[in-house]
Amino acid sequence: MIRTPLRPLARILDARAKGENPDAIERENIRIRHEEMRDRARKRAEGRLLVLGVMFTCAFIVIGGRMGVLANSEPSEPRTSVAGAQILAQRADIVDRKGRILATNFETHSLYAQPPQMIEPERAARELAKIFPDLKEERLLKDFTGKRKFLWVKKKLSPEQKQAVHDIGEPGLLFGPREMRLYPNGKLAAHVLGGASFGREGVHAAEVIGVAGIEKFYDDRLRDPALGHKPLELSLDLSVQAATERVLHGGMSLMNAKGAAAILMDVKSGEVISIASLPDFDPNARPRPPTEGNPGDSPLFNRAVQGVYELGSTFKIFAVAQAMELGLINPDTMIDTKGPLRWGKHRIRDFRNYGSELSTTKVIVKSSNIGTARIAQMIGVERQKQFLESLGFFKPTPLEIVEAEGGKPLLPPKWSELSTMTISYGHGLSTSPMHLAAGYATLANGGNRVVPTLLKQEGPATGPRVLSRASAQKSLTMLRKVVTEGTASFGDVPGYAVGGKTGTADKPKERGGGYYEDKVIATFATVFPAHDPKYVLVVTLDEPVETSGDEPRRTAGWTAVPVAAEIIRRVAPLLGLRPEIEPGELADITLTSN
């Protein structure tokens, strides 16, 4: 660039000649030069701003466009990750403690119809009625020829049925994939598993939701996609459960009972190894709840957990154990059993007259109501309430099925001294057999509170101590004597040192007003082996009658006890318990807790 000189000689000379100030020319030129520089700088700045603006606009357009594309495109799974292969089933399996399947999913198809696409609705209706005998041809025809655009024909199809429908060749009949819940073992553990059904349904998929039992309790866990490949491990043992149900079913029909329940529990961890309630149902085709009759007689009713009954003399051991714990009595203390025992206008009687006094052990062995009531009087109302509450008799059991909430114990509205006396022998307080099993497990494991659970545990759980080891041990010795020399003589299984307590409670009338004369709940709560307890078994029969003798026998010793003994005989080998010779009683040695 050629710079214009600030003082061009020609103009300077010219100005000098005219007598003007030549400096004015210089200033003028400086001014012009500055203006030019300013214009140039502005131009350049404007250009830069423009470029910057274009860049930003482009960037925003790109980002906006990408957002639009992301928002409008179908989401797709990452193509190269390995995580996707894990998620397959929309509901996790349920397995027993040894990994055997109790509930799984099964690929199947549903059948739906789109009448506008149908070519021969009459023939389709006729053929469908032939394949599915439960569908009515007229009804189908009405649906197919009416105004409906869409209808479900069948929720689940077997592969053979699907092929048969396919062979009709009707384009308006369509299949949607379905995952259905399958319980391969049929009725086994039906009350625990509950059942499942479809929730929201679409053509391409349907939700499977749990409707009862553990399926409903753990619905969120089972449906969690992150845990879909991890089965839910239960504490149940399939073979033990099958054997228990089989024997219980046999016993129920032999004893002419209308219902039965059995619970087998590990005394250290509180794991429920088997739990049966009869009559039962098939969770693959869960029946509808009954609309009439007593809901307690429905097959859906879980007698072991939901049913609260007065469980009778099985409660006596708790009163005795507590009295021994408090130091009020010892196994040899003589208790006054002169009857009848009067309290106000009430009288407490024994099944038989056991004489004027019995030792504490004999009170349990002979099952004396009067003796237990006297012991309860020594304990008093408050202490008894506290002890039973610490054993968990006041709240529903925290078992992991939704029905457990329904098994709320019925407590006397006003806990008087009379209540204390009757509750000590199991009347006036209604609990479920599961409560009783947990209570006996507490005695059996040496006095630590047991919380029943249906999930497999890693090891023994140590609950808070509610009873000293010595008192628990003495109670177990008494329970063993009930079998060897008392009311449960049929309960002895050679090699397994069964100890337990029978309980026969009259059934209260549904409409109130006393008890039935000829309807009882017979219960046998056992601990085996008594010298080293591992399991607790509670068997309850509803209205049993044993008719082999001259007169019908209803006591637990004749009904529940033989059934429980047979269950132990069958189940103990399956549990890996080898028969043992019971250690003899050691003289002058007492176990003390440290």
Partner 1 sequence: MRSLFYILSAMMVIGLAFWAYRENYETQEAQAEAEQLQREISLARQRLRVLNAEWAYLNRPDRLRDLADLNFDKLGLLPLQPYQFGRIDQVAFPEDDKLPVLNPVDVSNMDEEAAQ
Q: In sequence order, which residues have a C-beta less than 8 Å from that of residue 11 and are 6 or more positions away?
A: 22, 25
89 binds partner 1 (CB under 8 A): yes
239 binds partner 1 (CB under 8 A): yes
Q: Shortest Cβ distance from residue 100 to partner 1 (Å)? A: 7
243 binds partner 1 (CB under 8 A): yes
Name residue 350's beta-bridge partners.
none
Distance from C-alpha of 285 to C-alpha of 464, rounded to nearest angstrom: 42
Q: Which of 320, 312, 433, 427 is nearest to 371 (CA)?
A: 320
Distances, alpha carbon 455 to alpha carbons 15, 398, 400, in Å: 113, 12, 8
CB closer to partner 1, 178 vs 366:
178
Please report which residue ranges of 188-237 form alpha helices under DSSP H: 190-193, 213-217, 219-223
Distance from C-alpha of 550 to C-alpha of 546, rounded to nearest angstrom: 10
Torsion sign, CA atoms 558, 560, 564, 567: positive
**Beta carbons of 304 and 276 less than 8 angstroms apart:** yes
CB closer to partner 1, 201 vs 282:
282
CB closer to partner 1, 102 vs 379:
102
Query: Which one of 118, 128, 157, 238 is in contact with partner 1 (CB under 8 A)?
Result: 238
Q: Shortest Cβ distance from residue 530 to partner 1 (Å)? A: 16
Of the ranges 124-132, 275-283, 463-471, 488-496, which one interacts with partner 1 (CB under 8 A)?
Answer: 488-496
**Could you say which residues in the range 275-304 bind partner 1, by CB under 8 A?**
none
Q: Shortest Cβ distance from residue 493 to partner 1 (Å)? A: 8
Distances, alpha carbon 369 to alpha carbons 39, 320, 378, 504, in Å: 117, 12, 14, 12
Q: In sequence order, which residues have a C-beta less than 8 Å from that of residue 332 and are 6 or more positions away?
A: 359, 360, 361
90 binds partner 1 (CB under 8 A): no
Distances, alpha carbon 119 to alpha carbons 61, 109, 115, 168, 171, in Å: 52, 22, 9, 11, 7
Residue 470 identity? A
242 binds partner 1 (CB under 8 A): yes
Q: Shortest Cβ distance from residue 10 to partner 1 (Å)? A: 48
Evaluate the omega torsion of the peptide bond into residue 116 and state whether it is cis, within 30 degrees of 0.
no
| Tokens read off for 90 | 């929309």
Q: Shortest Cβ distance from residue 486 to partner 1 (Å)? A: 23
CB closer to partner 1, 104 vs 468:
104
Distances, alpha carbon 528 to alpha carbons 79, 128, 391, 531, in Å: 58, 58, 20, 8
105 binds partner 1 (CB under 8 A): yes
State the binding string over 246-265 for partner 1 (x if CB under 8 A, else -): x-------------------
Size of the site for partner 1 (CB under 8 A): 33
509 binds partner 1 (CB under 8 A): no
Query: Which one of 425, 440, 496, 558 is in contact with partner 1 (CB under 8 A)?
Result: 496
Q: Looking at the chain, how many residues does it have?
A: 594
CB closer to partner 1, 100 vs 349:
100
Query: Which one of 64, 84, 290, 340 is in contact with partner 1 (CB under 8 A)?
Result: 84
188 binds partner 1 (CB under 8 A): yes
**Could you say which residues in the range 156-185 bind partner 1, by CB under 8 A?**
182, 184-185
Of the ranges 165-173, 196-204, 235-243, 271-279, which one interacts with partner 1 (CB under 8 A)?
Answer: 235-243
CB closer to partner 1, 272 vs 308:
272
Q: Shortest Cβ distance from residue 563 to partner 1 (Å)? A: 16
Query: Which one of 19, 578, 587, 589 is in contact with partner 1 (CB under 8 A)?
Result: 578
79 binds partner 1 (CB under 8 A): yes
Q: Which DSSP letter does residue 584 get?
A: P
CB closer to partner 1, 299 vs 495:
495
Residue 375 identity? I
Q: Shortest Cβ distance from residue 229 to partner 1 (Å)? A: 9
478 binds partner 1 (CB under 8 A): no
Distance from C-alpha of 409 to C-alpha of 431, rounded to nearest angstrom: 5
CB closer to partner 1, 133 vs 583:
583
88 binds partner 1 (CB under 8 A): yes
Query: Which one of 339, 371, 495, 544 is in contact with partner 1 (CB under 8 A)?
Result: 495
**Beta carbons of 499 and 532 less than 8 angstroms apart:** no
CB closer to partner 1, 3 vs 79:
79
| Tokens read off for 134 | 């439960």
**Beta carbons of 527 and 444 less than 8 angstroms apart:** yes
29 binds partner 1 (CB under 8 A): no
Q: Shortest Cβ distance from residue 24 to partner 1 (Å)? A: 54
**Beta carbons of 575 and 299 less than 8 angstroms apart:** no
Query: Which one of 107, 167, 336, 382 is in contact with partner 1 (CB under 8 A)?
Result: 107
225 binds partner 1 (CB under 8 A): no
Strands annotated E in 370-514: 430-431, 499-508
Distance from C-alpha of 552 to C-alpha of 587, rounded to nearest angstrom: 42
Q: If residue 542 lies in a helix (H) or strand (E), which one and from where to where?
A: strand 535-542
Query: Which one of 72, 80, 294, 594 is in contact with partner 1 (CB under 8 A)?
Result: 80
Evaluate the omega torsion of the peptide bond into residue 340 and state whether it is cis, within 30 degrees of 0.
yes
129 binds partner 1 (CB under 8 A): no
CB closer to partner 1, 104 vs 359:
104
Of the chain, the end-to-end C-alpha distance in Å amounts to 108
CB closer to partner 1, 326 vs 574:
574
Torsion sign, CA atoms 310, 316, 318, 323: positive
Query: Which one of 5, 171, 186, 398 is in contact with partner 1 (CB under 8 A)?
Result: 186
Q: Shortest Cβ distance from residue 574 to partner 1 (Å)? A: 6
Please give the residue ranges that form the binding site for partner 1 (CB under 8 A). Answer: 79-80, 84-85, 88-89, 100-101, 104-107, 182, 184-186, 188, 238-239, 242-243, 246, 493-496, 569-570, 572-574, 578-579
